[in-house]
Amino acid sequence: MTDVRLPEPRGPLSAALVAVVRGSDFGVPPLPTDAYGDDLQLALHVLYELHYRGFAGVSDDREWDPELLALRAALEDRFLSALRADVPVGAPDTAERALDELQLEPVGDDSGSLSYFLRDHGDLEHFREYAAMRSLYHLKEADPHAWVIPRLRGRAKAAMVAVEFDEFGAGRADEIHAQLFADLMTDLHLDPSYGHYVDAAPAEALATVNMMSLFGLHRALRGALVGHFATVEVTSSPASRRLAEALRRMGAGPAAVRFYTEHVEADAVHEQVVRHEVVAGLLADEPSLEADVVFGIRATGHLEDRLADRLLTAWRDGRTALRTGRITPAAVAARSG
């Protein structure tokens, strides 16, 4: 039983889809032309969530409804085609080179970095917006990556399981990273309920999470999923250090700070394991997947850059980056009763 509610539609496609999963006869309008737009990304989000926790009032059988799967395939094709067009991969691109590029940190320049902005200029209102958007992933942290495990073998599989074991709390429910993020949200006076901030999140935030599900649900994209996972682990430790510093400067509580300090140490170790065992192990077994790994790395950067631009443009203009208005502790208290 789930209490996750269906989101509010954002266009003709998502409106028709929400009606269908609620039980209406199948029928959808022509697909949107904008692969990154709100209507298409929300529709993909709804279809993917049928494979996670589902929605209140929606039968579990809808997960494998053939008409919904056909619609999902059409939307995925449009999304994947847009990503491949925007991040072409070719010689001399290699996974090693692409991962090395991720470690090139800007020096004294926060022009495109969310973690630098939050550390140096942000306030708690900015961080609450950031956490609300990131909750779409962090409240199911590592779940999309788990789908790749049965598609790996040998070194890559063993190392992937080792990293995921840490992500899932190393056997302790209170240490699962998704729970640590829920604790962070509570500390910041945010609602930690799974899926609570979907309506507030712009399409750019939905796309970053939809891409993980796209890669995870398709065996043919296992190399791209490994590339995405490597990107997360390589970039996490330095960004988490800055975000922990930001929260300390803002006066946030220990649970909020702990989520990021945990990632500073853990992901510094994970980075080496992922680079030298998961990625290297996969490519030793299947060298033909190198271009897919690079694509996963570059596509992740592309969508993260789009999200950062959305947030930083709004914040520097003195506006909220959320679709539903600013989040305040008083408003959270009122919703929570």
Mean pLDDT across the stretch 110-131?
Answer: 91
Same domain as 262, residue 178: yes
Answer with the one of 86, 105, 123 that is the final residue of a domain. 86
Q: How confident is the model at residue 91 (pLDDT cuts 50, 70, 90)?
A: confident
DSSP conformation class of 123 = -
Mean pLDDT across the stretch 83-110?
Answer: 83
Residue of 90 and 49 predicted with greater confidence:
49
Same domain as 109, residue 78: no
Residue 3 forms part of a structural domain = no
- Whichever domain contains 132, its CATH number is 1.20.910.10
User: Rounded to whole angstroms, what are the CA distances from 126 to 58, 115, 204?
Assistant: 34, 11, 17
pTM: 0.94
What distance lies between CA 31 and its chain's CA centroid? 24
The four Cα atoms 101, 89, 211, 144 give a dihedral, to 10 degrees, of -70
pLDDT of residue 337: 38
> Over 60: is that where the pLDDT of 332 sits?
no
Residue 176 forms part of a structural domain = yes
Q: How confident is the model at residue 48 (pLDDT cuts 50, 70, 90)?
A: very high
pLDDT of residue 107: 54
pLDDT of residue 270: 84
pLDDT of residue 114: 95
- pLDDT by residue (tens digit) across 265-319? 776 778 889 999 999 999 999 999 999 999 999 999 999 999 999 999 999 999 9
pLDDT of residue 110: 56
Answer with the one of 86, 107, 138 that is the final residue of a domain. 86
User: Rounded to whole angstroms, what are the CA distances from 276 to 113, 295, 307?
Assistant: 27, 18, 29
Q: Six-digit token pair at 94?
A: 């290699």
Same domain as 159, residue 65: no
Do residues 282 and 215 make contact, with C-beta atoms less than 8 angstroms apart? Answer: no
Same domain as 269, residue 126: yes
94: how many CB neighbours lie within 10 A of its CB? Answer: 14
pLDDT of residue 326: 86
**What's the longest Cα–Cα distance across the chain?**
57
Q: How confident is the model at residue 330 (pLDDT cuts 50, 70, 90)?
A: very low
Q: How confident is the model at residue 334 (pLDDT cuts 50, 70, 90)?
A: very low
> Over 50: is that where the pLDDT of 219 sits?
yes
Same domain as 76, residue 134: no
Mean pLDDT across the stretch 71-94?
Answer: 94
Same domain as 251, residue 120: yes
Residue 6 forms part of a structural domain = no
Q: Considering its fold, how many domains does the chain have in total?
A: 2
Residue 173 forms part of a structural domain = yes
| The length of the chain, given as a count of residues | 337
Same domain as 196, residue 67: no
Distance CA 16, CA 40 (A): 12
Residue 260 forms part of a structural domain = yes
> Over 50: is that where the pLDDT of 333 sits?
no
Do residues 75 and 83 make contact, with C-beta atoms less than 8 angstroms apart? Answer: no
Residues 6+ apart with CB under 8 A from 116: 106, 109, 110, 242
Range of the domain at 141: 95-336
Same domain as 99, residue 81: no
Percent pLDDT > 90 in the chain is 84
Residue 2 forms part of a structural domain = no
Same domain as 328, residue 200: yes
What does pLDDT average to over the chain? 93
- pLDDT by residue (tens digit) across 142-164? 999 999 999 999 999 999 999 99
Same domain as 278, residue 141: yes
Same domain as 80, residue 148: no
Same domain as 310, residue 165: yes
Percent pLDDT > 70 in the chain is 95
- pLDDT by residue (tens digit) across 223-246? 999 999 999 999 988 999 999 999
Q: What one-letter code names the amino acid at 271?
A: E
Alpha-carbon radius of gyration of the chain: 19
pLDDT of residue 108: 53
Q: What one-letter code names the amino acid at 268?
A: A
